Amino acid sequence: MSRRSYDLTGRNFHRWRVMRLSYRNKISVFWVCKCSCGNKRAVNQNNLLMGRSRSCGCLQKEATSRARKTHGQSQNPLYSIWQAMNARCQKPHHRDYRFYGARGIKVCRRWRNFTYFLADMEADWTSGLSIERNDVNKDYKKSNCRWATQAEQARNTRRNVIVKSPWGMLTASQCAEKIGINPSVFLYRLRRGWTGDKLFSPSRQFNRWNTKES
């Protein structure tokens, strides 16, 4: 890893404020940083620049504390996200199970407890975001998940859902292009469990609104 040094003095990185250069070794540069809670620590430069270090640990503790207070409250939006994530991986009757549980996608052991899911993910969540896996062939776990907008998640789904079609194995976007319909309409058909001629028909009667597809 590069040990190139930037002047980070006075800059803020989440809860860290860089005070001064601490030391260098053969592979890294470290800066003395002060957390907003008052703690000081030598922090790796790359961890600051890449957002891997955001506080002295107080942020995680606060998230865990909030998780303990909110766990069990059905109106917490992250609780419904957590429930849906587990359902599509564990319940064969769920409409999206074939894209998740049937493919071997699991929720990691830690996240089977809502308290730990909240502690790991709440700090970065804002209203309107949904959980997204960086690698769609791997499980739900902290190292493979992030929050994404609906548009970002739709693009990822279209690229990665593989469908057996009359033209061979294609992505959802490729199938939609072949048929001549909007990719979101094709994904809707998949979620509804449509197959055969109905799934691959260009007919405008087979769409979400039973009107002209856009």
Could you tell me which residues come within 8 angstroms of residue 149 by beta carbon, excluding any fewer than 6 positions away?
A: 128, 129, 130
Say what the pLDDT of residue 69 is.
61
Tens digits of residue pLDDT in 130-151: 898 888 788 999 999 999 887 6
Q: Model confidence at 87, in pLDDT bands (50, 70, 90)?
A: very high
Say what the pLDDT of residue 155 is.
63
pLDDT of 129 above 70: yes
Q: 41 has which bridge partners?
A: 33
pLDDT of 15 above 50: yes
Say what the pLDDT of residue 143 is.
94
Determine how many CB atoms are found less than 10 A away from the CB of residue 134. Answer: 11
Task: Note whether 141 and 131 are within 8 A (CB).
Answer: no
Q: 13 has which bridge partners?
A: 16
